[in-house]
Amino acid sequence: MEQIPKKTRIAAVGDIHFKESDKGKWGDYFKMVSVNADVLVIAGDLTDTGDEQEAEVLAEELKMCSIPVVAVLGNHDYEKGRHKLIRQILLKQGVHLLDGESVIIQDVGFAGVKGFGGGFDRHMLSFFGEGAMKAFVQEAVDEALHLDRALSRLDAEQRDIKKIAVLHYAPIRDTVVGEPEAIFPFLGCSRLAEPLNRHKVTAAFHGHAHIGTIEGKTTDGIQVYNVAKPILQMQGYPDGVYFLEV
């Protein structure tokens, strides 16, 4: 009798923006997620102002989470230049904090990067003009390359796994629709979609755009989810978390 592959249930949320005053407020949330999912994905902006004390509070609250946690940093986590400290604190807590790395949990491979801006489709910025503009574009290119390498490592595994990409910045335009169009170049970049298509990922999660759109697809039909907590709450998702079975 042929065995039916076991499904993995992912709980995904982004932009949780932990503050020092959040101590003791998230335990029930992480307990609920642990009961209803196999893995928790946090798509960046783990802290509110990029302070290591905020990360300490998050690490303490995550002790209530009994399932694996996969996360990436967001722009808020870089605000004070203490992102390395934030990373160390959360790694110590056992969080799989990905920055161009990958991890396999229950036959699902997760590859993660923060990502960067740069615009979408025909309006994507190019290498032209001032050095500052070229550096802006190069940052997005570098992040896309890091994502590509992380997904390539998953492709090299000698087993059949489903691939999930975790980002903070959006890889497609559709999931930032709702935000002012003038700021689209700062919300994500189509360069991030290229690795998703090339490696045929099952799905991608991101945050960053607080009033964007929850679902969209790449040009090759890869499903992309904007799981920024403010959107999930506005759309009436119970407890502000998105569940996906893969």
Q: Are 222 and 204 spatial neighbours (Cβ–Cβ below 8 Å)? A: yes
pTM for this model (two decimals): 0.95
CA torsion angle 185 87 67 203 (round to 10):
20
**CATH code of 115's domain:** 3.60.21.10
- CA–CA distance, 144 with 218 (Å, rounded to integer): 15
Residue 163 inside a domain? The answer is yes
Residue partners of 111: CB distance under 8 A and separation at least 6: 98, 101, 102, 147, 150, 151, 153, 154, 163, 164, 165, 166, 201
**CA–CA–CA angle 162, 192, 167 (5° rounding):** 65
**Residue 121 lies in domain:** 9-245
User: What does the pLDDT profile of the chain (246 residues) look like in tens digits?
Assistant: 555 668 999 999 999 999 999 999 999 999 999 999 999 999 999 999 999 999 999 999 999 999 999 999 999 999 999 999 999 999 999 999 999 999 999 999 999 999 999 999 999 998 898 999 999 999 999 999 999 999 999 999 867 899 999 999 999 999 999 999 999 999 999 999 999 999 999 999 999 999 999 999 999 999 999 999 999 999 988 789 999 999
CA–CA distance, 95 with 193 (Å, rounded to integer): 25
Structural domain count of the chain: 1
Residue 185 lies in a domain: yes
| Residue 138 belongs to a domain | yes
Amino acid at site 225 = Y
Specify if 3 maps to a domain: no
Residue 2 lies in a domain: no
